[in-house]
């Protein structure tokens, strides 16, 4: 059996309500797993700058790739980009 770990995420009441309304129960775990995998791939490719852009809300998740297009891979990895 594949190892599976659970992740606890704090959500606002509004986020919880939208998640319940918009994403069927059986798909939530699969959806979040795909999102996390994609995020990890972006961080591997472009460095921790991806995380900084998202956490500081400088870009929305859907804007990350277009924002990073002008930054070289080396700049992204060492944080100079």
Q: What's this model's pTM, rounded to 2 decimal places?
A: 0.70
Residue 64 and residue 54 in contact, taking contact as beta carbons nearer than 8 Å:
yes
pLDDT digits 0-9 by tens, 22-64: 999 999 999 999 999 999 998 998 888 889 989 998 888 878 7
Residue whose C-alpha is closest to residue 36's, from 19, 12, 18, 54: 54
pLDDT at 46: 86
**How many helices (DSSP H) and strands (DSSP E) are in the chain?**
5, 0
């Amino acid at each position: 059996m594949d190892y599976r770990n659970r992740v606890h995420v704090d959500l606002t009441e509004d986020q919880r309500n939208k998640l319940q309304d918009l994403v069927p129960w059986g798909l939530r775990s699969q959806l979040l797993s795909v999102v996390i995998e994609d995020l990890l791939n972006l961080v591997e490719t472009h460095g921790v700058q991806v995380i900084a852009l998202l956490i500081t809300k400088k870009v929305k998740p859907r804007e990350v790739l277009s924002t990073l297009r002008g930054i070289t891979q080396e700049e992204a990895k060492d944080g100079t980009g």
